[in-house]
């Protein structure tokens, strides 16, 4: 088949092109001169040329010729052949055109979602009332004309870039698509707010909080502007809402830079816009599905449980408070990290990935962890790719074992794994998860690592991100940037690492009750111990990398275990309990799943059961079997046996039937305390085991 031939050529790094009526073959001389290869190319020349000219050819660099946009200006009817990047029917096209104001004449292009957009779109449609990927930026303007001029300049930026004129449509279609509008006017809503109700900026943020507000992504641009006049200061406050489906942090920076350039009359210095369709084509078609599946099945095939930090996997529907804390990595540690990376001929990102895995192993209770790592899936030909607005990042899983492997070997293994992972940067997260044993919709992981290179940022910026509440920034004369929301994800824990070339900054974004400051401290500690092991003892098992800082480790191992206390040596435990019940009868003694029992209530219930046990013959040295699940009744039963003078024999309902039967026979209990709600096989084993000796089985539910 032709697809198999293309795959074989790509494996040999052989690229094809068409020049006039000739098929051009590029590759190493040794491979290209092979007679067998020349023969197969001659036999398939016509088919290969047709494939290249159609735009469906994918070369070894990840992409072939990207088909040009075939929708002409002024088009009154769009047909399927005009949309080479997506397969749709005429009925679906009609559905799309009807959803765009101005119809076909206002449709510039239609293509599918990129991989990261697919994941965000899933969370959007499943988010019900909330929108986890909605962010905002706050501005303050001296006057209304100044504000109008600013947003008119922003409208000019929107006209420049396809992704800023894009809407998302899915209703009535077999797959979601993004539609580029030719004309997408900014939506500006003016509100009248009362200063006596509080700060105007805070009122705007509260009203459009993503926990209860959703942006309509079916309408372009995916930006909404809300403005209100502050009658006390006379200034105008504007809230710019945007959706990460099209506009990430880097894109917001491009919008602000180009808006400022337009206001200052510097439009000649703006770069030539690059159609976002090129990236979509590369992301959708620039990959071999078979290779993707082979890689992720090899890495994730035997993973059948998710990695859940603090047992959290997903943000709840109504959302929980999100906190963000950050800290700079100590300068001396930053230098040691870079020196260790140079010595091992790998990137510092590798050291951060392994350290993050060590932290997650501790907070998730797993030695084998999976987390998401954010990759910048940039354009292959890319001069200035960082300045292109749009969603050029992807999140993919990486699996790291925190086991007995030597630290140095583990670092090298992680470096190799990251290198291989980057070759599959366009794989969708959904496809990667399908290669694991974790069945959707259960997430594969609950934590992310976003390692970002910011070499152009100076130390003053590093100090700024370390202190996010530094205040306002000037955007221009009379214009202030009041702040904005941090990038949010649908995962309960994210660690962002900013690499400034010399220094590093850690920022943890966490769902309550996770403490982001503590997470940063754990990460800093893990980095310290990792680099120390690489410097002094590279054969140290990676599971020995410590994440707890010295003070917290002392609290856990020493301070909180300082349980020594003086108590009367001539009294039994149940007598000490009775004294406590007499001193604090109304205090809560037991609390479980919404049920609670006071000291007096627990004492009374235990006394009643103890008197009953004595009537059954429970005396000192007599044994009472307890077969029940953990519950308030179990504590009552233990205390009652002590009060009756006997000893209790714990029988776990999860034990095999043979083990339960043996323990009953071996302990010869006077009575068995249990619950009728236990599984029938367990109850049957208990009754069978005591039938011969006529021992009563007491149901505490009764």
Last residue of a domain, one of 279, 311, 328: 279
On whether both 163 and 204 belong to a single domain, the answer is: yes
On whether both 581 and 668 belong to a single domain, the answer is: yes
Residue 480 lies in a domain: no
* Domains identified in the chain, total number: 4
Residue 562 lies in a domain: no
Last residue of a domain, one of 254, 279, 304: 279
Residues 63, 50 contacting (CB under 8 angstroms): no
DSSP state of 265: T
Query: Tokens at residue 531, please?
Result: 């680099």
On whether both 668 and 628 belong to a single domain, the answer is: yes
Q: With 50 as the cut, is the pLDDT of residue 430 above it?
A: yes
Please tell me the predicted confidence (pLDDT) of residue 476: 58
Q: How many helices, marked H, and strands, marked E, lie in the chain? A: 23, 23
Domain CATH number, residue 9: 1.10.10
Query: Which tens digits make up the pLDDT trace of 52-90?
Result: 766 556 665 555 556 678 899 988 899 998 998 888 999
Residue 460 lies in a domain: yes
Whole-number Å distance between alpha carbons of 342 and 332: 16
Last residue of a domain, one of 251, 279, 307: 279
Residues 224, 187 contacting (CB under 8 angstroms): yes
On whether both 319 and 275 belong to a single domain, the answer is: no
Q: With 70 as the cut, is the pLDDT of residue 319 above it?
A: no
Whole-number Å distance between alpha carbons of 285 and 59: 10
Q: Give the lowest-confidence range in 6-20, 51-65, 152-166.
A: 51-65
Residue 441 lies in a domain: yes
Whole-number Å distance between alpha carbons of 278 and 285: 10
On whether both 250 and 377 belong to a single domain, the answer is: no
On whether both 44 and 191 belong to a single domain, the answer is: no
On whether both 636 and 682 belong to a single domain, the answer is: yes
Residues 207, 189 contacting (CB under 8 angstroms): no
Please tell me the predicted confidence (pLDDT) of residue 227: 93
Find where tokens 């408070």 sit: 321
On whether both 396 and 540 belong to a single domain, the answer is: yes
Range of the domain at 195: 80-279
Residue 69 lies in a domain: no
Domain CATH number, residue 612: 3.40.50.980
Query: Which tens digits make up the pLDDT trace of 649-696?
Result: 998 888 888 888 888 888 889 888 988 888 888 888 888 777 767 788
Q: With 70 as the cut, is the pLDDT of residue 302 above it?
A: yes
Residue 73 lies in a domain: no
Query: Which tens digits make up the pLDDT trace of 341-383?
Result: 999 999 999 999 999 999 999 999 999 999 999 886 544 333 3
Domain CATH number, residue 506: 3.30.559.30
Please tell me the predicted confidence (pLDDT) of residue 385: 41
On whether both 670 and 630 belong to a single domain, the answer is: yes
**Helix H or strand E segment including 508:** strand 504-511
Domain CATH number, residue 142: 3.30.559.10
Q: 337-353: string of b/e by CB count within 10 Å (b at 16+)?
A: bbebbeebebbbbbbbb
Query: Tokens at residue 455, please?
Result: 């070499």
On whether both 43 and 13 belong to a single domain, the answer is: yes
On whether both 162 and 258 belong to a single domain, the answer is: yes
Residue 63 lies in a domain: no
Strand blocks (E) in 424-472 = 447-453
Query: Tokens at residue 680, please?
Result: 């029938």
On whether both 313 and 203 belong to a single domain, the answer is: no
The dihedrals phi and psi of 399, each to the nearest 5 degrees, come to: -115, 130
- Alpha helices by DSSP H, listed for 105-220, are 115-125, 144-160, 200-207
Whole-number Å distance between alpha carbons of 351 and 564: 42
Query: Which tens digits make up the pLDDT trace of 466-517?
Result: 333 333 445 556 788 787 665 556 788 999 999 998 899 999 998 888 999 9
């Amino acid at each position: 088949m032709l697809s198999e031939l293309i795959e074989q050529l790509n494996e040999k790094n052989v690229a094809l092109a068409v020049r006039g009526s000739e098929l051009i073959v590029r590759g190493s001389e040794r491979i290209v001169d092979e007679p067998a290869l020349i023969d197969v190319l001659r036999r398939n020349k016509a088919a290969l040329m047709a494939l290249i000219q159609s735009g469906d050819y994918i070369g070894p660099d990840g992409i072939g010729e990207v088909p040009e946009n075939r929708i002409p200006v002024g088009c009154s009817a769009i047909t399927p052949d005009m949309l080479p990047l997506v397969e749709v029917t005429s009925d679906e096209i009609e559905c799309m055109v009807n959803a765009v104001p101005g119809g076909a004449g206002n449709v510039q292009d239609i293509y599918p979602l990129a991989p990261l957009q697919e994941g965000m779109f899933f969370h959007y449609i499943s988010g019900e009332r909330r929108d986890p990927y909605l962010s905002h930026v706050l501005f303050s303007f001296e006057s209304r004309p100044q504000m109008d001029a600013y947003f008119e300049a922003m409208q000019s930026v929107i006209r420049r870039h396809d992704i800023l004129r894009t809407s998302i449509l899915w209703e009535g279609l077999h797959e979601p698509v993004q539609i580029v509008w030719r004309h997408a006017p900014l939506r500006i809503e003016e509100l009248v707010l009362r200063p006596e109700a509080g700060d105007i900026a805070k009122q705007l943020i509260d009203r459009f909080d993503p926990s209860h507000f959703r942006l309509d992504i079916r309408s372009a641009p995916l930006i909404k502007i809300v403005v209100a006049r502050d009658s006390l200061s006379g200034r105008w406050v504007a809230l710019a809402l945007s959706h990460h489906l099209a506009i990430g942090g880097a894109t917001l920076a491009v919008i602000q830079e180009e808006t400022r350039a337009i206001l200052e009359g510097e439009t000649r210095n703006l770069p030539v816009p690059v159609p976002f369709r090129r990236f979509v084509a590369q992301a959708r078609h620039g990959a071999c599905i078979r290779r993707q599946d082979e890689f992720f099945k090899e890495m994730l095939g035997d993973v059948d449980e998710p990695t859940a930090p603090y047992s959290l996997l997903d943000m709840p529907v109504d959302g929980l408070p999100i906190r963000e804390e950050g800290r700079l990595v100590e300068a001396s540690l930053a230098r040691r990290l870079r020196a260790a990376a140079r010595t091992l001929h790998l990137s510092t990102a590798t050291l951060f990935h392994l350290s993050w895995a060590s932290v997650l192993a501790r907070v998730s209770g797993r030695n084998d962890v999976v987390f998401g790592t954010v990759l910048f899936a940039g354009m292959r030909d890319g001069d200035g790719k960082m300045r292109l607005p749009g969603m050029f990042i992807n999140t993919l899983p990486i699996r790291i074992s925190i086991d007995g492997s030597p630290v140095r070997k583990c670092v090298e293994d992680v470096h190799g794994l990251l290198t291989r992972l980057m070759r599959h940067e366009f794989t969708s997260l959904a496809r990667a998860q399908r290669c694991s044993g974790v069945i959707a919709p259960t997430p594969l992981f609950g934590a992310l690592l976003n390692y970002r290179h910011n070499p152009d940022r100076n130390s003053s910026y590093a100090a700024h991100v370390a202190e996010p509440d530094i205040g306002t920034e000037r955007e221009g004369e009379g214009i202030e940037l009041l702040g904005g929301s941090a990038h949010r994800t649908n995962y309960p824990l994210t660690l962002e690492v900013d690499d400034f070339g010399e220094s590093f900054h850690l920022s943890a974004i966490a769902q309550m009750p996770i403490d982001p400051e503590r997470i940063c401290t754990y990460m800093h500690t893990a980095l310290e111990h990792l680099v120390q092991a690489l410097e002094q003892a590279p054969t140290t098992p990676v599971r020995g990398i410590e994440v707890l800082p010295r003070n917290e480790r002392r609290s856990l191992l020493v301070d909180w275990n300082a349980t020594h206390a003086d108590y009367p040596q001539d009294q039994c435990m149940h007598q000490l309990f009775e004294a406590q019940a007499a001193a604090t009868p109304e205090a809560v003694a037991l609390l479980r799943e919404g049920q609670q029992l006071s000291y007096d209530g627990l004492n009374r219930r235990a006394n009643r059961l103890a008197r009953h046990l004595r009537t059954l013959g429970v005396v000192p040295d007599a044994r009472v079997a307890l077969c029940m699940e953990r519950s308030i009744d179990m504590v009552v039963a233990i205390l009652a046996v002590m009060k009756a003078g006997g000893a209790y024999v714990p029988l776990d309902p999860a034990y095999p039937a043979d083990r339960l039967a043996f323990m009953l026979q071996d302990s010869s209990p006077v009575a068995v305390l249990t619950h009728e709600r236990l599984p029938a096989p367990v109850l049957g084993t208990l009754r069978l085991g005591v039938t011969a000796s006529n021992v009563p089985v007491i149901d505490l539910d009764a």
